[in-house]
């Protein structure tokens, strides 16, 4: 079905306006610091102290440790894949489909809820400031419209203001963020200076205030960790604007760790000063702070700062909420933009303003939703879900590091998580542990989150799954200046590893000669999904050297070899496209011999090729660099076994290789079963052509087919095997037996699959 004009424009990189990289290292760091040192430090200090007592210091420190583990994951992924959307983009790439959609759906929700909370927090602090210094104005407004409506008006104005600021451009937003963040750090430093001065003059308060350290046990520490973890969310915002950061490979990891290095000490010092510097009378300091909860820092400031100190803290609260709001609007809009680009939200959300180079539609949409939430929803309920969503997202990002290392090892990673995979595994486990523990004291967070996920899945399967199908990975096969005639069929060799070139070609030429076909070689340049397909031509020169070497090997044999480079978002798609373009009759390709992924038999590339290949396939594990002299050909009949016999027959004739045809029989096999096995062996030998003269026949006694072949194969240079006769429900692609033989056999293993085009077409017609 032809694509619409909108869809073609969406897919055409040249037709799209891109982001401007306006954010340097300092800007990116301030973005992370500004988001982390938000209203949370003012609001959560008293709450944490009330739940854990002095051990709230430990709760903050442990949250910092959990955060650091996940920061390693963000640093690696955001620098290797500098794409707008942050955690959503990583999870989307690691887990395409519903899981990827849900990650973006809930993250956009969490960021937008956080924006609403910051807007309301600003309104509350703003009203507090007026109440302190302009009480007559407060009374007048109260009489006119009431305090509640006044707070809503302020919330609307500040939400609209920062939405407009973000539309203007990342550079303007970044400069504003820098000024706000530096100002609030200055305010907090003033608070710390007065608090430390008070502690220095009365050091005995430290012991009194911090004893006992665990008044509510370790359970209180865990509760405090769950309640305050959202205060450590913010460094991840750097990843969401990765497309706007200069030199992202270096600056994103640096900015991530610098933001934590600035923020964590400030958090711990603020909490320590709040506990140790106040004079709470006979009441323990932690109970005093817990009593006042959200206003605890203001009450602490009244204890050891002059009268103006309260105004300073209130002003600091204003600065904190505005900088956090500014940074979070920016992050939320980039998640929405990225989802729109993936067609998992309406495609208009992915538009970038031609002049300002900002995702203005995504920003305006996010701004409208955050204002609507702030003015209408019970944010105490949905706000509790934001912390849970960040925990779940961070867990998925840690998992994405492991998955992407395996799925896309070719992506350049200038920064890598140290002590891999220990750190991402720990990060995943700890985030999940905190998320599960949160159900004990905030079950509503789980209810809201699960409800939002359910709504998202309904939308995904009803609307966005079909729409996003147009964004399939692309393949680019560079055409020659003079288009050639329709090519004759060929035997195609897929080349990737330079060490295997000669071995693969030496096994392929006899097949081509026996079928009277030409030889062709293809090498795939893979580019990440977020990179325009034409960008892959910049790195194609590496493959040109590989194919030039293949041509030299062919020249030594006085053989002709056609070569082709293909650029693709997925290696399997590139191979399949080349096979169709060159009318390949047989594809020969190497295979590492195993896969670490449970839901795949041979690995992502091989599985896709096997499933969709329109020709015969020869898959070779560990192509031998030495000369092959002996071959084991296990057989039990069937089209794949017959193809394997004809192929190895042609190879053995050229290589003067001796063949042993084998059949697995049970140690308790009856005479009838042995007779049947001998008939299979005779049929197989008859297919070997000239090589039949040097072929031996052998019955291999074993309880396990794969185990018997693997053990017998140790004595041979090469083991050739096709599909085995297994029950249908146990077969996947080739079946379990060839996979197990290839995994455990120390010899070179050749797996052969015959293309059954007629049968496949018939099946398609039956299934409609």
Residue entry with tokens 């605890």: 296
Question: pLDDT (tens digit, 9 = 90+) per residue, 572-609?
Answer: 888 988 898 888 999 998 877 554 443 344 556 777 78
CB 606 within 8 A of CB 636: no
Residue 358: count of CB within 10 angstroms of its CB? 27
Question: pLDDT (tens digit, 9 = 90+) per residue, 345-373?
Answer: 787 887 777 776 777 888 888 888 878 87
Question: pLDDT (tens digit, 9 = 90+) per residue, 727-736?
Answer: 333 333 344 5
Cα–Cα distance measured from residue 287 to residue 53, given in angstroms and rounded to the nearest whole number: 7
Q: What is the pLDDT of residue 486?
A: 65
- At 424, the pLDDT band (50, 70, 90 cuts) reads very high
Average pLDDT estimate for 428-453: 84
Q: What is the pLDDT of residue 768?
A: 37
How confident is the prediction for the chain on average, in pLDDT? 77
Q: What is the pLDDT of residue 625?
A: 63
Let me know if the fold of 37-470 is the same as that of 626-768: no
- CA-based nearest residue to 496, from 433, 578, 576, 589: 589
Token reading at 490: 């060929």
Q: What is the pLDDT of residue 738?
A: 65
Helix locations, 598-719, DSSP H: 604-612, 639-655, 671-686, 705-713
For the ranges 141-155, 368-382, 538-552, 639-653, the maximum mean pLDDT occurs at 639-653
- At 16, the pLDDT band (50, 70, 90 cuts) reads very low
10-19, 101-110, 357-366: which has the minimum mean pLDDT?
10-19
Residue 218: count of CB within 10 angstroms of its CB? 11
Q: Which fold has domain 472-614?
A: Rossmann fold (3.40.50)
Question: Is 29's pLDDT higher than 90?
Answer: no
Cα–Cα distance measured from residue 96 to residue 754, given in angstroms and rounded to the nearest whole number: 31
Question: Is 491's pLDDT higher than 90?
Answer: yes
Question: Is 283's pLDDT higher than 90?
Answer: no
Question: pLDDT (tens digit, 9 = 90+) per residue, 121-141?
Answer: 777 767 767 776 677 776 677
**Phi first, then psi: what are they for 563, rounded to 5°?**
-125, 155
Strand 630-634 to strand 584-591: parallel, antiparallel, or no bridges (unpaired)?
Answer: unpaired
Q: What is the pLDDT of residue 12?
A: 40
Q: What is the pLDDT of residue 485?
A: 60
- At 473, the pLDDT band (50, 70, 90 cuts) reads low
List Cβ neighbours of 524 (8 Å cut-off, separation of 6 or more): 494, 496, 543, 566, 567, 568, 571, 574, 575, 578
Q: What is the pLDDT of residue 735?
A: 46
Best CATH choice for the domain 37-470 from the list 2.70.70.10, 3.40.50.300, 1.20.1740.10, 2.120.10.60: 1.20.1740.10
- At 758, the pLDDT band (50, 70, 90 cuts) reads very low
Question: Is 308's pLDDT higher than 60?
Answer: yes
Q: What is the DSSP letter of 202?
A: -
Average pLDDT estimate for 314-341: 78
**Domain 626-768: top CATH class:** alpha beta
Tell me the C-alpha to C-alpha distance, in Å, between residue 384 and each of 7, 110, 293, 442, 683. 38, 10, 16, 7, 71
- The Cα angle at residue 481 between residues 478 and 483, in degrees rounded to 5: 85
- CA-based nearest residue to 387, from 437, 457, 456, 335: 437
List Cβ neighbours of 430 (8 Å cut-off, separation of 6 or more): 66, 69
164-173, 239-248, 629-638: which has the minimum mean pLDDT?
164-173
Question: Is 480's pLDDT higher than 60?
Answer: no
List Cβ neighbours of 36 (8 Å cut-off, separation of 6 or more): 231, 232, 233, 234, 235, 259, 260, 263
Q: What percent of the chain has pLDDT over 90?
A: 6
Q: Strand, helix or coil at 747?
A: coil
Q: What is the H or E stretch that residue 55 is in?
A: none
Q: What is the DSSP letter of 344?
A: S
Average pLDDT estimate for 7-31: 57
List Cβ neighbours of 217 (8 Å cut-off, separation of 6 or more): none
Question: Which carries the bigger pLDDT value, residue 593 or residue 428?
Answer: 428
> How would DSSP label each residue in 359-390?
-HHHHHHHHHHHHHHHHHS-HHHHHHHHHHHH
- At 392, the pLDDT band (50, 70, 90 cuts) reads confident
Domain boundaries, the chain: 37-470, 472-614, 626-768
Tell me the C-alpha to C-alpha distance, in Å, between residue 493 and each of 449, 496, 579. 50, 10, 10
Question: pLDDT (tens digit, 9 = 90+) per residue, 329-350?
Answer: 877 888 888 788 777 778 788 7
């Amino acid at each position: 079905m032809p694509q619409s004009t909108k869809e073609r424009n969406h897919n055409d990189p040249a037709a799209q306006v891109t982001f401007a990289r306006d954010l340097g290292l300092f800007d990116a760091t301030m973005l992370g610091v500004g988001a982390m040192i938000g209203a949370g430090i003012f609001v959560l200090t008293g709450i944490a102290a009330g739940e854990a007592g002095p051990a709230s210091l430990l709760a903050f420190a442990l949250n910092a440790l959990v955060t650091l583990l996940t920061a390693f994951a963000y640093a690696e992924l955001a620098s290797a894949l500098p794409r707008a959307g942050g955690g959503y983009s990583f999870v989307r790439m690691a887990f395409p489909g519903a899981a990827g959609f849900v990650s973006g759906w809930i993250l956009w929700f969490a960021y937008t809820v956080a924006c609403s909370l910051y807007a309301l927090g600003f309104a509350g602090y703003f009203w507090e400031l007026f109440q302190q210094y302009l009480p007559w104005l407060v009374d007048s407004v109260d009489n006119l419209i009431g305090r509640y409506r006044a707070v809503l008006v302020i919330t609307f104005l500040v939400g609209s203001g920062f939405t407009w600021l973000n539309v203007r451009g990342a550079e303007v937003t970044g400069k504003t963020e820098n000024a706000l963040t530096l100002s609030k750090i200055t305010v907090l430093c003033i608070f710390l200076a007065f608090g430390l001065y008070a502690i220095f003059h009365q050091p005995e308060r430290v012991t009194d205030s911090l004893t006992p350290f665990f008044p509510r046990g370790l359970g209180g520490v865990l509760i405090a960790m769950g309640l305050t973890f959202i205060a450590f969310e913010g460094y991840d915002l750097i990843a969401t604007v990765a497309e706007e950061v200069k030199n992202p490979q270096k600056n994103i990891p640096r900015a991530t760790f610098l933001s934590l290095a600035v923020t964590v000490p400030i958090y711990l010092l603020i909490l320590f000063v709040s506990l140790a510097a106040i004079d709470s009378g006979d009441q323990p300091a932690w109970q005093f702070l817990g009593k006042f909860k959200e206003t605890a820092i203001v009450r602490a400031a009244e204890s050891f700062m002059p009268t103006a100190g309260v105004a300073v803290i209130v002003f600091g609260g204003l600065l904190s909420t505005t900088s956090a709001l500014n940074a979070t609007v920016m992050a939320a809009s980039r998640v929405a933009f990225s989802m729109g680009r993936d067609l998992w939200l309406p495609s208009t959300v992915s538009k970038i303003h031609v002049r300002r180079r900002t995702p203005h539609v995504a920003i305006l949409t996010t701004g409208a939703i955050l204002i609507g939430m702030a003015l209408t929803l019970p944010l105490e309920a949905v706000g509790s879900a934001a912390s849970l969503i960040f925990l779940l997202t961070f867990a998925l990002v840690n998992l994405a590091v492991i998955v992407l290392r395996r799925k896309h090892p070719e992506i350049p990673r200038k920064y890598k998580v140290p002590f891999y995979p220990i750190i991402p595994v720990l990060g995943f486990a700890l985030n999940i542990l905190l998320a599960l523990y949160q159900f004990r004291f905030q079950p509503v967070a789980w209810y809201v989150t699960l409800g939002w996920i359910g709504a998202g899945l309904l939308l995904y399967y009803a609307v966005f799954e079909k729409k996003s199908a147009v964004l399939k990975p692309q393949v680019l096969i560079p055409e020659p200046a003079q288009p050639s005639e329709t090519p004759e069929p060929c035997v195609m060799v897929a080349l990737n590893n330079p060490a295997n070139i000669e071995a693969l070609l030496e096994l392929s030429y006899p097949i081509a000669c026996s079928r009277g076909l030409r030889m062709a070689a293809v090498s795939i340049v893979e580019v990440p999904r977020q990179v325009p397909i034409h960008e892959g031509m910049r790195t194609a020169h590496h493959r040109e050297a590989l194919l030039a070497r293949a041509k030299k090997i062919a020249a030594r044999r006085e053989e002709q070899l056609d070569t082709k480079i293909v650029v693709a978002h997925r290696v399997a798609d590139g191979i399949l496209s080349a096979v169709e373009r060159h009318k390949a009759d047989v594809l020969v390709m190497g295979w590492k011999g195993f896969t670490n992924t449970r839901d795949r038999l041979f690995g992502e590339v091989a599985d896709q090729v096997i499933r969709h290949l329109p020709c015969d396939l020869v898959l070779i594990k560990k192509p031998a660099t030495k000369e092959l002299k002996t071959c084991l050909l296990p057989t039990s009949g069937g089209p794949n076994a017959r193809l394997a016999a004809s192929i190895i027959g042609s190879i053995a004739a050229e290589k003067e290789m001796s063949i042993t045809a084998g059949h697995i029989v049970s140690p308790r096999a009856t005479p009838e079963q042995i007779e049947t096995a001998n008939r299979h062996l005779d049929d197989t030998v008859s297919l070997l052509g000239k090589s039949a003269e040097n072929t031996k026949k052998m019955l291999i006694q074993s309880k396990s087919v794969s185990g018997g072949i693997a053990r017998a194969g140790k004595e041979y240079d090469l083991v050739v095997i096709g599909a085995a006769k297994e029950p249908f429900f146990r077969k996947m692609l080739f079946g379990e037996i060839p996979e197990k033989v290839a995994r455990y056999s120390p010899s070179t293993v050749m797996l052969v699959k015959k293309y059954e085009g007629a049968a496949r077409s018939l099946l398609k017609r039956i299934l409609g």
